[in-house]
Amino acid sequence: MSPDVPDAIVLRNVTRSYSTGVDVVTAAHELNFNAMRGEFVCVLGASGSGKTTLLNLIAGLDRPDNGSIRVNDREITGLSDKELTRFRLAEMGVVFQDHNLIDEFTARENVMLPLEVAGVPWGEASSQAERQLAAVGIEDLGNRFPRQLSGGQRQRVGIARALVGGRHVLLADEPTGALDSANSRALFEVLRVLCEAGTCVVLATHDPLAQQFADAVYAMTDGNLSRAQTRS
Ligand code: ADP
Ligand code: MG
């Protein structure tokens, strides 16, 4: 990766603690993190290590106690909830272990949803959704309902919905948590293809297989993040 590729995500000294009433858990402790455009960054860590906290902070779904979070050159820590929602819809996509697709909608209709929220006309939304389904390798499944898709196919629909409309930052929280190893591998390959096409992918997972597909690997342990490996 060339050094002049711009950063998509920059965190500086980001801390987030939760008070449980009984004690205080520091889920993110002075995190420093960079991810470039077109880079596939994997955050590996055990359950409870702080991976979801990190992704929620980047997504603006949670707010840090301290520190700076920049996404596509915009400092997001000072934005209002409304500004954050608008910014996320324009710039970032988030996928979780649970795909959260709407059962009554086809795959294509699910992918069209963010475009319809943004006021894109139906015909244009439909063709953009088709292209995004093709980008995740399921262009022939647009008319199927979620129940007619495998777990891996549903996750691809979720990823297409997260990126449709020209978003280039994908935050994926344990997207293979419910998949077997063959389907996990296939999903990591999809993420790899997306990053080759310019998307910044941040994948949080406990699956070490993901390291083979990533440009950079961070390890998360008890709220601390350290750079573990760079793809040669
Ligand atoms: P991971 O995604 O790696 O499993 P999390 O980010 O979900 O880790 O959690 C990190 C730590 O922060 C855990 O100890 C968890 O219990 C705690 N935590 C996360 N969210 C909250 C919350 N909203 N309130 C209290 N504690 C939380
Ligand atoms: Mg988690």
Q: Please give the average per-residue pLDDT across 144-165, as a whole number.
A: 96
Kindly tell me if the per-residue pLDDT of 149 is higher than 90.
yes
C-alpha dihedral, 67 to 71 to 73 to 79, nearest 10°: -70
Identify which of 133, 116, 141, 135 has the alpha carbon closest to the alpha carbon of residue 191.
135
CA distance 42 to 204: 6
Nearest CA to ligand 1 atom 6: 50
CA distance 204 to 207: 9
Identify which of 40, 36, 33, 32 has the alpha carbon closest to the alpha carbon of residue 3.
36
Q: Are strands 200-205 and 169-173 parallel, antiparallel or unpaired?
A: parallel
Q: What is the pLDDT of residue 184?
A: 96
Chain centroid to Cα 192, Å, comes to 13
Ligand 1 pocket by Cβ (under 6 Å): 18, 20, 25, 27, 45, 47-53
Query: How far, in Å, is the centroid of ligand 2 from the Cα of 204?
Result: 8
Query: How far, in Å, is the centroid of ligand 1 from the Cα of 35?
Result: 23
Average pLDDT, the chain: 94
In this structure, what token pair is assigned to residue 41? 């960054």
Q: Which of 14, 15, 17, 18, when mutated, tests ligand 1's pocket best, judged by the most ligand atoms within 8 Å of its CB?
A: 18
Q: What's the pLDDT band for 2 if we cut at 50, 70, 90?
A: low
Over the stretch 49-95, which tens digit does the pLDDT of each residue have? 999 999 999 999 999 999 999 999 999 999 999 999 999 999 999 99
State if pTM tops 0.75: yes
CA distance 31 to 10: 10
Q: Please give the average per-residue pLDDT across 93-111, as a whole number.
A: 93
Over the stretch 5-58, which tens digit does the pLDDT of each residue have? 789 999 999 999 999 888 999 999 999 999 999 999 999 999 999 999 999 999
Angle subtended at Cα 43 by Cα 53 and Cα 226, rounded to the nearest 5 degrees: 95
Query: How far, in Å, is the centroid of ligand 1 from the Cα of 26?
Result: 9
Q: What's the pLDDT band for 224 if we cut at 50, 70, 90?
A: very high
Over the stretch 165-217, which tens digit does the pLDDT of each residue have? 999 999 999 999 999 999 999 999 999 999 999 999 999 999 999 999 999 99
In this structure, what token pair is assigned to residue 214? 């990533």
Q: What sign does the dihedral 189-200-204-41 (CA atoms) show?
A: positive
Q: What percent of the chain has pLDDT over 70?
A: 97
Q: What is the pLDDT of residue 230?
A: 67
CA distance 33 to 14: 9
- 157 neighbors 99 (Cβ within 8 angstroms): yes
C-alpha dihedral, 136 to 186 to 71 to 174, nearest 10°: 130
Residue 57 buriedness (CB in 10 A; 0-12 / 13-18 / 19+): buried
